[in-house]
């Protein structure tokens, strides 16, 4: 099975549109404005999903899909937010489980309408199943088996109350296979096929197995970066989450948020080229820099701390991309570190703007790396060029 990443982007737009319809339906139902925060497709193994969902307590509804698209869809609230939801519904506090079930049924119906309209076929939902689940138990059993699955995830945000929730869709093969191989992909909007001036000659179709391999490389690179932190600081370090996601590039800055961050960014040269950012929240950056210095710096993020973070960024980046080059059979180098200290979205926006000249969507590798002892966390965002990544993965499948 070959996955056309442009077709995957078009499917992602369908998911984003469906999430918008779900937000509209819930806005009408609850009287609270909701908006789509981000929609993305992940290529993840069962082990990756189990790690990504670890520690979550969710309440929600799941439905099976039949007809125009087969698989399963899930609406999940954070367990702490359910009381806020019930307070917005007439009689919700007394209805409890049945109220959550009805909300899920309405929201998932709205989410799937856009897919059904495009396919020209009805998508039938099984009766909604209410659940209370820990961790990855929110997902169907089949998601955690095998080498990897596609997971469409849409996060919705309420503007006036704590009512954030997520919609997950795990499509089976069959009709979905026809969509992502590009033969029946939803039509792309102007400019959404990779940027102005693209003549369509650059293939972006890659074997699915190669995407799964690259997802594994993302995890291995994150582990190497964590090992390099441990080596330089003497602190036990681990990777909490590492997934390969396919998202609209324009959404990435919002994911980083508006809290102040400090760290380093790099331009990657070779195949694939692209950008990599290693970002700590401001307090974490000061802590990790101090742990590397022989004495307390005069300023938490002054010149000494900046040099320490640049040195750390260098060895982390090398650990992150060396595995890519070895497995993909390419040469990848990186620019000297550029120190950044600003609100999170401002640190990542220039990278996204540069890559957006060539593509509207991209594969994002994000990893949360935590150190023990000083309680710091950093997020790694890797943004490879999709065409160059496709070529490298295509060669990998032939070797």
The pLDDT value given to residue 236: 86
Please check the confidence at residue 187 and state whether its pLDDT lies above 60: no
Please check the confidence at residue 310 and state whether its pLDDT lies above 80: yes
Q: Using 50, 70 and 90 to split pLDDT, how confident is the model at 327?
A: confident
- For residues 194 and 192, give the distance between their C-alpha atoms in angstroms, rounded to a whole number: 6
In this prediction the pTM is 0.75
In the predicted model, what is the mean pLDDT of residues 13-25?
88
The pLDDT value given to residue 91: 66
Check: CB of residue 260 under 8 Å from CB of residue 285: no
The pLDDT value given to residue 94: 63
Q: Using 50, 70 and 90 to split pLDDT, how confident is the model at 233?
A: confident
Between residues 198 and 97, which one has the greater pLDDT?
A: 97
Peptide bond just before 267 cis, omega within 30 deg: no
Please check the confidence at residue 365 and state whether its pLDDT lies above 90: no
The pLDDT value given to residue 198: 37
The pLDDT value given to residue 354: 92
pLDDT in tens, 48-85: 777 777 788 899 999 999 988 888 999 998 888 888 88
pLDDT in tens, 329-342: 888 999 999 999 99
Both tokens assigned to 151: 């997971």
Write the DSSP string, 246-303. EEEGGGHHHHH-SSEEEEEEEEEEESS-EEEEEEEEHHHHHHHHHHHSSS--SSTTSH
Among the ranges given (238-247, 248-257, 351-360), the one the predictor scored with the smallest mean pLDDT: 238-247
- For residues 341 and 285, give the distance between their C-alpha atoms in angstroms, rounded to a whole number: 10
């Amino acid at each position: 099975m070959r996955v056309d990443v442009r077709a995957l982007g078009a499917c992602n737009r369908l998911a984003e549109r469906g999430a918008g319809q779900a937000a509209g339906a819930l806005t009408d139902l609850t009287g609270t404005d909701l908006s789509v925060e981000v929609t993305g497709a992940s290529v993840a193994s069962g082990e990756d999903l189990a790690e990504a969902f670890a520690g979550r307590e969710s309440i929600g509804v799941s439905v099976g899909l039949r007809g125009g698209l087969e698989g399963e869809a899930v609406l999940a609230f954070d367990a702490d937010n359910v009381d806020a939801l019930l307070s917005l519904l007439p009689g919700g506090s007394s209805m409890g489980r049945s109220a959550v079930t009805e909300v899920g049924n309405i929201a998932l119906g709205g989410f799937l309408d856009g897919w059904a309209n495009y396919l020209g076929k009805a998508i039938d939902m099984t009766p909604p199943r209410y659940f209370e689940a820990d961790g990855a138990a929110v997902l169907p059993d089949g998601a955690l088996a095998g080498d990897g699955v596609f997971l469409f995830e849409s996060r919705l945000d309420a503007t006036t109350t704590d009512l954030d929730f997520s919609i997950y869709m795990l499509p089976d093969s069959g009709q979905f296979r026809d969509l992502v191989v590009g033969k029946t992909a939803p039509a792309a909007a102007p400019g959404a096929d990779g940027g102005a001036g693209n003549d369509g000659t650059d293939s972006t179709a890659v074997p699915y197995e190669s995407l799964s391999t690259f997802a594994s490389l993302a995890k291995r690179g994150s582990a190497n970066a964590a090992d390099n932190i441990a080596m330089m600081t003497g602190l036990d370090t681990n990777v909490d989450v590492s997934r390969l996601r396919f998202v609209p590039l324009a959404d990435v800055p919002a994911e980083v948020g508006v809290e102040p961050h400090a760290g380093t960014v790099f331009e990657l040269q070779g195949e694939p080229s692209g950008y990599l950012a290693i970002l700590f929240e401001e307090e974490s950056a000061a802590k990790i820099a101090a742990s590397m210095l022989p004495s307390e710096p005069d300023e938490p993020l002054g010149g000494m701390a900046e040099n320490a973070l640049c040195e750390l960024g260098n060895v982390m980046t090398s650990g992150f991309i060396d595995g890519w080059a070895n497995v993909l059979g390419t040469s990848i180098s990186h620019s000297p570190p550029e120190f950044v200290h600003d609100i999170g979205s401002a640190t990542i926006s220039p990278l996204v703007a540069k890559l957006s000249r060539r593509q509207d969507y991209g594969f994002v590798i994000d990893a949360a790396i935590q150190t023990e002892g000083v309680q710091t966390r950093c997020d790694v965002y890797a943004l490879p060029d999709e065409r160059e990544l496709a070529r490298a993965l295509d060669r990998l499948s032939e070797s």
